Amino acid sequence: MMKAIVRRTLFLLLLLSISIYSQQSVRVTYKFTSNGNDVDMPKLILEYSSASNIAHYTNAQGEEFYIDYNSAKTYQTFLLRDKSRITTVEELANYPVPEVTDETSIINGYNCRKAKVVIRSNNIEIWYTVDGEFKGTPSVNIGPNLGLVLKIVRNGNFEIVAEKIEVDVIGKGGLSLPPDWGEILDMPGYKEKVTENNFMTVRIFTDEKINFGDTIVNPEPGKDDITYRYSKGTVILKKIKLPENMQGHTVFAELTERSGGDAYDRTGSLFVITGSGKSYLNAFVNGLNELENYENSQGKSYRGFTLTDEFTPPIELMRFITPFGIRHYNSQVTVKGIKWEDSVTYKQDVTDIVTAINGEVWFGVFIGCYDKGGHRISLKLKYHPEDPNAEQKKIWLKPLINTVNIMEASGQEYATIFGTDTLKVKVFVPDGIKNLKLRVISTGHGGWEHGDEFNKKMNEIFVDGDLIHKFIPWRDDCGMYRKYNPASGNFPNGISSSDYSRSGWCPGSTSVPVDIPLGDLKPGEHTFSIFIPMGKPEGNSFSAWNVSAVLTGKME
């Protein structure tokens, strides 16, 4: 009797063994949880075939991952929008080796052991099984050599866990690798191309010269995608058609600059000109007299500073200050412990303005230099998707003020008006505009001890005579940009000129806009005023303030 029972038991174990080890393939469906709650992410499906000894899965972004146990390599591959393929390859031996523990558990009926590993300061728990001799992991760098990974726990709160396991669902031929891997890249190059594929880049200027004193012959005005040079070479301009209905995106402007010979910190401005009315477009072609006059209390004219019924000032997207001679002077100046940067890239979020502009627009860049070598710049806009299903709300936008003397080389006045007057502008707000906001960029200039470049000055903003906001534009982090400033002077006290704090700017940085919420300002005409207690001239030295202000709101 006992012998019969033993024989039956051995026979059942043999059948079970044959059942387990004859399974040729597995398909595992994983879900994602955070703090015990399901995460709204597509399920991940991993497949493995013993016939080909290959595991494969695709992530939510469409990247494919292969683990080829025959060659002991992993392949991460992606098909770009232009249908070209890119791939990065890694040896299994180069992945972190987990430490196997004595802890066990059962997941979906499979006996599992626990391993652990630390990856970039993240504590990872790995639960894997060797039942059926299946292999694979839902993250190629986490335990690819252990067996079949059924659960990954990161820092105790984020989990990738198998919720469904299907066996022998893949054909006898198994899985196969793609016939062509396309362009083989290292991991940084691969990641860069995958990321760039996920957002839209609009390239506007590429390695364009901005300088002073060239003989300039422009094409016929008004052409698309042609770079025009104005104001003796200190301004470049191009007409671009922007993508429309992009409110579901975050937009960054990236402007890269290097010196072509100019050694000094110069005011730079990235601006756009919209509409068909009177604007700087006329002045660039026909001269300063095309700009509207603004007279101060003493009868002095300042041209092109404010919105009028006839004239629209440029919309400033970004104010930047060039560093002292980046790249051109790198080899001429040596400072112990500092390696000079080759260029500087100014990057700023311009979502609120750019997504309000549709269709054709003129992009311009101004650098106030007086050097024939000047500067070289490149400019692009990057549209990063946030919510593709976002409601396409209409944005109302009105530029009010821009005192940056963009046509400085043509004789446009510096903004010294704040020394005698409060700058005022009238604007009509139509019905149905909500959540109004004033975006202000303000920087003080006057580069001597008592000049406004080096002294804190309160900026006060008024609407219809009421003070609504006041602030002091000031930057005390300029020392962070020393590596961009090879031609900056070094003083006996151990401080470099580029290190000194300034009125809203540093050499080699942008100036941060100030957003002032206005609520639901009533429809009708309103007067906006800006007061700055600007310092008085000393000899031939004087101060000036570059201020731009744009009013935005949501249309019902």
Other CB atoms within 10 A of residue 310 CB? 9
- Band of residue 17 on the pLDDT scale cut at 50, 70, 90: very low
User: pLDDT tens digits, residue range 492-540?
Assistant: 898 999 999 999 999 999 999 999 999 878 999 999 999 999 999 999 9
Task: Lay out the sheet containing 228-230: strands in order across.
Answer: 228-230, 235-242, 359-367, 267-273, 315-321
E-only strand ranges, 350-446: 359-367, 375-385, 395-402, 423-429, 433-445
Which pTM does this prediction carry? 0.84
Whether pLDDT at 110 is above 90:
yes
pLDDT of residue 49: 95
Check residue 133 and give left, alpha or beta (phi > 0: left; psi -120 to 50: alpha).
left
Q: For residue 540, what are the contacts with CB-CB under 8 A and spacing of at least 6?
A: none
pLDDT of residue 499: 97
User: pLDDT tens digits, residue range 400-447?
Assistant: 999 999 999 999 999 999 999 999 999 999 999 999 999 999 999 998
Intervals of CATH 2.50.20 along the chain: 23-188
Least confident range from 59-63, 131-135, 201-205, 304-308: namely: 131-135
The third-level CATH classification (topology) of the domain covering 199-555 is Jelly Rolls (2.60.120)
Other CB atoms within 10 A of residue 303 CB? 18
The mean per-residue pLDDT over the stretch 86-94 comes to 97
- Band of residue 33 on the pLDDT scale cut at 50, 70, 90: very high
pLDDT of residue 388: 66
Least confident range from 57-71, 354-368, 537-551: namely: 354-368
Query: How many Å apart are CA 551 and CA 399, to the nearest integer?
Result: 6
Intervals of CATH 2.60.120.230 along the chain: 199-555
The mean per-residue pLDDT over the stretch 297-324 comes to 96
Whether pLDDT at 8 is above 70:
no
CATH of 23-188, one of 2.30.29, 2.60.40, 2.50.20, 3.40.50: 2.50.20
pLDDT of residue 299: 93
